[in-house]
């Protein structure tokens, strides 16, 4: 990073140069330069608006347009010299524009402040990033829906308290994950709608005396309209907090997925195999295949949650309007964006490639008396009160533990010692296949319902456009 222009654009009021340490300490260009694309787009819209209201001539507008596009090309080619002395991305670009086109470059800042400029840049940046994140999220959902269809008949144990509860299908489990992601998508969509208003023209805090057209610049930038209040426009960071809250919840969901994948890939479970390209080995134990991607994502939720708390704390005591504190919004926000986007990409790439060990998941569902509730329901159907049926099944399970037999492995005579209402048809409900097939209702785990739910989930994705 080069200090190519140490002259401060605001230096007229000051009688001495900024302390070099303070200069470095207060500069943000090392991290906010990633906003260059949105800063240039915001400046192009502002310049077009200034020309529309007669502040800039058509020739001056063209000079500014050409100069800004040349600067964009310099940045993208890695040929732009960023200066700490110029503090941030905005002043670096403006100084370079003035260097390129002369006095016309100094006219670009007419009717605006860095306060509304940065507020506009961040909204433009986050709007674009939410679109990318939603794309990765949808790609993951598509993978889960396809996997659910593929494994609609694959039986596995369903758990409560991490103890075997009732048999479910693997496809049903994947669609449970999809429902979490569907809510995440909705939160991100709502967040994008609320942030999509333009602060441009609010200037420092009170607006400007120039005859600006805020609706015009908002339209040029694809905003739904301008913000309503100039004070709120430059100080509002609710949208960054809201996004981080949605990201924290999405990362929590991914962390829950990761916990299950880590368990399922262990030798003790062996429910699934992850592709080698998503795993690593051990430097000392040659047999190891570690699920590093799920483990790392499970760990990354902590940093995202921490950034949410940082942003909430940043804003909790700020008076209106803009304060220098707000410079601290960017690094946590940028890291939340990067972490969520990359975590979703990793999952979207990984999930379609997993292999389910169907024989293992089925055998696991046979352990732990997972059809006990089916036996109770059967007895209720024969006229026994549920509490009496519950007691009968409890005694049957105790017998099974003593004899090392699952309910489905007992003979009719063995079962009838606990209730003479049990008949030969009991074995229709004690099998794993019979158990899952019996949950044949909307939202249930029956294979036919899993396929229907997958169709509905896919239709929701298609309806997004």
Which position has the higher pLDDT, 13 or 381? 381
Q: pLDDT band at 4, cuts 50/70/90?
A: very low
Mean pLDDT of the chain: 94
Residue 12 is predicted with a pLDDT of 59
Rounded to whole angstroms, how far apart are CA atoms 218 and 227?
9
**Alpha carbons 141 and 349: distance in angstroms, whole number:** 11
Question: In percent, how much of the chain has pLDDT > 70?
Answer: 96
- The number of helix segments (H) and strand segments (E) in the chain equals 20, 4
> In this predicted structure, what is the pLDDT of residue 353?
94
Distances (CA, A) of 425 to 238, 373, 408, 428, 438: 61, 16, 12, 6, 14
What's the topology of domain 372-430? Ribonucleotide Reductase Protein R1; domain 1 (1.10.40)
pLDDT given for residue 281 in this prediction: 80
Q: How far is CA 74 from CA 5, 9, 70, 71, 128, in A?
A: 17, 22, 6, 5, 22
pLDDT reported for residue 1? 46
Choosing from 161, 283, 411, 441, which is the catalytic residue? 161
Given a cut of 90, is residue 460 above it in pLDDT? yes
3-state secondary structure of 158: strand
Contact call for residues 202 and 234 (beta carbons, < 8 A) = yes
- The domain 11-110: what is its CATH number? 1.10.275.10
What average pLDDT does range 324-335 have in this prediction?
96
Helix, strand, coil fractions of the chain, as percent rounded to 5 = 65, 5, 30
pLDDT at 135: 98
CA angle 310/25/70 to nearest 5° reads 95
Q: What pairing do the DSSP bridges indicate for beta strands 163-169 and 355-356?
A: unpaired
Min mean pLDDT across 21-25, 119-123, 139-143 is at: 21-25
161 is catalytic: yes
pLDDT at res. 247: 98
pLDDT score of 26: 76
Of 30, 73, 266, 282, the active-site residue reads 282
Confidence grade of residue 111 (pLDDT, cut at 50, 70, 90):
very high
Residue 85 binned pLDDT confidence (cut-offs 50, 70, 90): very high
Longest dimension (CA), the chain: 101
- Give me the mean pLDDT over the 132-137 stretch: 98
Q: What are the sequence ranges of the domains in the chain?
A: 11-110, 115-362, 372-430
pLDDT at 297 over 50: yes
Strands 155-160, 355-356: parallel, antiparallel or unpaired by DSSP?
unpaired
pLDDT of residue 20: 77
Supply the CATH classification number for the domain 115-362.
Answer: 1.20.200.10
Cross-strand bridge partners of residue 226: 198
Average pLDDT of the segment spanning 157-179: 96
The whole-angstrom separation of Cα 104 and Cα 99 is 10
CB neighbours (10 Å) of residue 308? Answer: 23
DSSP codes joined into one string, 380-440: HHTT--HHHHHHHHHHHHHHHHHHT--GGGS-HHHHHTT-TT--GGGHHHHSHHHHHHH--
Point out the least confidently predicted range of 203-207, 287-291, 309-313, 456-460.
Answer: 287-291
- When mean pLDDT is compared across 149-158, 234-243, 282-291, the lowest value belongs to 282-291
């Amino acid at each position: 990073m080069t200090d190519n222009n140490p002259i401060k654009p605001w230096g007229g009021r000051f009688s001495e140069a900024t302390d070099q340490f303070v200069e470095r300490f207060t500069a943000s260009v090392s991290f906010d330069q990633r906003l260059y694309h949105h800063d240039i787009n915001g400046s192009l819209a502002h310049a077009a608006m200034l020309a529309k209201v007669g502040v800039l001539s058509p020739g001056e507008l063209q000079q500014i347009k050409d100069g800004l596009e040349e600067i964009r090309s310099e940045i993208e080619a890695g040929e732009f010299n960023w200066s700490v002395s110029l503090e941030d991305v905005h002043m670096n670009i403006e100084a370079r524009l003035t260097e390129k086109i002369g006095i016309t470059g100094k006219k670009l800042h007419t009717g605006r402040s860095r306060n509304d400029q940065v507020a506009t840049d961040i909204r433009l940046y986050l709007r674009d990033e939410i679109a990318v994140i939603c794309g990765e999220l949808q790609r993951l959902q598509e993978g889960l829906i396809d996997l659910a269809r593929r494994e609609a008949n694959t039986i596995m144990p369903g758990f409560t308290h991490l103890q075997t509860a009732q048999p479910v299908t693997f496809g049903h489990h994947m669609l449970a994950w999809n429902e979490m992601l569907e809510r995440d998508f909705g939160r991100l969509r709502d967040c994008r709608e609320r942030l999509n208003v333009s602060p441009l023209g609010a200037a420092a805090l009170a607006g400007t005396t120039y005859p600006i057209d805020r609706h015009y610049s908002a339209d040029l930038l694809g905003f739904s309209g301008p913000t309503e209040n100039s004070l709120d426009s430059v100080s509002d960071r609710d949208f960054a907090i809201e996004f981080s809250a949605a990201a924290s919840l999405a990362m929590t969901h991914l962390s829950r997925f990761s916990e299950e994948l880590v368990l399922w890939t262990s030798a003790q479970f062996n429910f699934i195999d992850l592709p080698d390209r998503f795993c690593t080995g051990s430097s000392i134990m040659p047999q190891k295949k570690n699920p590093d991607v799920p483990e790392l994502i499970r760990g990354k939720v902590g940093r995202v949650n921490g950034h949410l708390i940082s942003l909430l704390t940043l804003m909790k005591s700020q008076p209106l309007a803009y304060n220098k504190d707000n410079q601290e919004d960017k690094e946590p926000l940028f890291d939340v964006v990067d972490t969520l986007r990359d975590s979703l990409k990793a999952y979207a790439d990984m999930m379609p490639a997993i292999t389910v060990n169907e024989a293992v998941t089925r055998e696991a569902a046979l352990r732990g008396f997972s059809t006990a509730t089916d036996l109770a329901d059967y007895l209720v159907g024969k006229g026994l009160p549920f509490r009496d049926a519950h007691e009968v099944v409890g005694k049957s399970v105790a017998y099974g533990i003593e004899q090392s037999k699952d309910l489905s492995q007992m003979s009719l005579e063995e079962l009838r010692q606990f209730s003479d209402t049990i008949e030969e048809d009991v074995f229709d409900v004690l099998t794993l296949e019979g158990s899952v097939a019996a949950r044949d209702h909307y939202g249930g785990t029956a294979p036919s319902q899993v396929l229907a739910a997958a169709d509905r989930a896919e239709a929701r994705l298609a309806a997004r456009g």
